[in-house]
Amino acid sequence: MTHIKEMGWNFDNSYARLPDSFYEKAAPVPVHSPELVTFNKALAETLGLNSDLLQTKEGVEVFAGNQVPAQSFPIAQAYAGHQFGHFTMLGDGRAVLLGEQITPSGKRYDVQLKGSGPTPFSRRGDGRATLGPMLREYIISESMHALGIPTNRSLAVITTGETVIRETPLPGAVLTRVADSHLRVGTFEYALRLGDREKLQTLADFAIARHFPELEQEQYKERYLTLFEEVVKRQAELIANWQLVGFIHGVMNTDNMTISGETIDYGPCAFMDEYHPSTVFSSIDVQGRYAYQNQPAIGQWNLARFAESLVPLIHDKPDQAVELAQEILGKYEHWYQHHWLKGMRKKLGIQNDEEHDEELVEDLLGIMKENRADYTNTFRALTLNKPEDITMAGAAEFKHWYERWQQRLERQEISKTSAYQLMKEVNPSIIPRNHRVEEALEAAVDKDDYSVMKKLLDVLSNPYAYSQEQEEYTTLPAPSRLPYRTYCGT
């Protein structure tokens, strides 16, 4: 029998060395008949794991939670969160942190099993996950990685051989996911509610050592204000990147916002087809709180909750701490706008800055909204210099805009050829379109056919390739009377 250590597992458990208020011991609950259905060989090798051994029966036992590597100390993390604006004490209700894999280069990554059974935070839930949502997270998170957007990643999905009851009986599954860490804004909200300043400081020092080690040299109080500033900067850039590719997270609760600046907790997420700022996909977001156009402002709202959590550390005088934090939070909009406009310039092949560039961008988006144009395909057609392929090609306002854009390209040092090449590097040829994702999930879940998903993952692995194989994945879904809806899977 293969020894688990030979697979390359090399765990440390630094989070478990925090005060035990921050977690509960929670061993994964074994399943009857685990079967590996999706495996990320490239990620495994990055982590220093033996991809061949991980795909053996013994390797699958680890992904199922039936066997735990010797150095692992499985826990469920405690945290809180503002969910749709309302504060709640939470924790990992269906996820277990096996530990932190130390790679051959010395990098540290959390390895977590999602859907591995009940924990002390399950709140009467079964702690299990169903196959469809776990495959969805695998597809979307790997697509985000390929797009160059910070994200947790997916290492494997196994089916459990067991049925999970939701609205109907569904096949059970466990996802192994990898992240820089699972520290959340909600982790700090939880620490604040403990009412123990020393524990709050311990958590903040842990976050600094994990993600911002350069801050350890700063003076005692300044480091926590700088920690806040660095997280604000990362989130401003992350959410700008979401907007640039038309990604809608769906559940931007504070427990789903990481300190590391990674996208995490892919539930009812989706990518926008037709451009409309008020687009919502999530079935539970009935008020549109987390609509596409609201994501930047919600990011700032969440960061304000983070600031509140850090107040006791920023300054001995609360009023002074609030003033210092507000000064930094006030810069969020500027940092977000900087990254968004910089990205939009690149999407239009613009390398230098001019005063009216934002107006040029906003005018295009307005025309797209008015003409119900597809977001990704509009920029794709502009990249290929095929304006005739754009839905609104015949509209007078678009023709006028196109002339302005061409004139703008001429007012820069690089050639138009170079401008179009720049556009190819930032405008994806394809995204994980909702109907394609659903097609893959239906084949896998209903027919046990993973070939559709494999082909989709292959073409999504290099979204900027503009290859012949990607052409069929650029087509839009058939018209439907009903809006597309996504579900969180819990």
Q: Which two tokens stand for residue 188?
A: 């700090």
Q: How confident is the chain (490 residues) per 10-residue block, as mean pLDDT? A: 78 98 97 97 97 96 96 97 96 97 97 97 94 97 98 98 92 98 98 97 97 85 94 98 98 97 94 96 92 98 98 96 98 98 98 96 98 97 96 95 97 96 97 96 97 98 97 90 73
- From the number of C-beta atoms within 10 Å of its C-beta (0-12, 13-18, 19+), residue 191 rates as buried
The span from the CA of 127 to the CA of 183, in Å, is 20
* Residue 274, strand partner residues: 374
Residues 6 or more apart in contact with residue 481 via CB below 8 angstroms: none
The span from the CA of 455 to the CA of 449, in Å, is 11
Q: What is the pTM of this model?
A: 0.96
Q: What is the DSSP string of 205-270?
A: HHHHHHH-GGGGGS-HHHHHHHHHHHHHHHHHHHHHHHHHHTEE-S---GGG-BSS--B---SS-E
Q: Please, are residues 370 and 446 in contact by the beta-carbon 8 Å criterion? A: no
Smallest CA-to-CA distance from 483 within 315, 295, 280, 344 is with 280
Examine the residue annotation and report whether 255 is marked as an active-site residue of this protein.
Answer: yes
The span from the CA of 317 to the CA of 109, in Å, is 36
The span from the CA of 83 to the CA of 66, in Å, is 32
pLDDT for res 487: 80
The pairing of strands 35-39 and 153-165 is antiparallel
The span from the CA of 85 to the CA of 267, in Å, is 18
| Domain boundaries, given as residue ranges, for the chain | 4-179, 185-339
- Options 92, 180, 255, 285, the catalytic residue: 255
The span from the CA of 188 to the CA of 80, in Å, is 8
Q: Which two tokens stand for residue 74?
A: 């499985």
Smallest CA-to-CA distance from 229 within 88, 334, 373 is with 334
pLDDT for res 488: 73
Alpha helices by DSSP H, listed for 317-466, are 318-329, 332-347, 357-371, 375-383, 396-410, 416-426, 434-447, 451-460
Length of the chain: 490
Q: Which two tokens stand for residue 169?
A: 């009986």
Give the residue carrying structure tokens 């209903």.
Answer: 446
Name the helix (H) or strand (E) containing 42.
helix 41-46
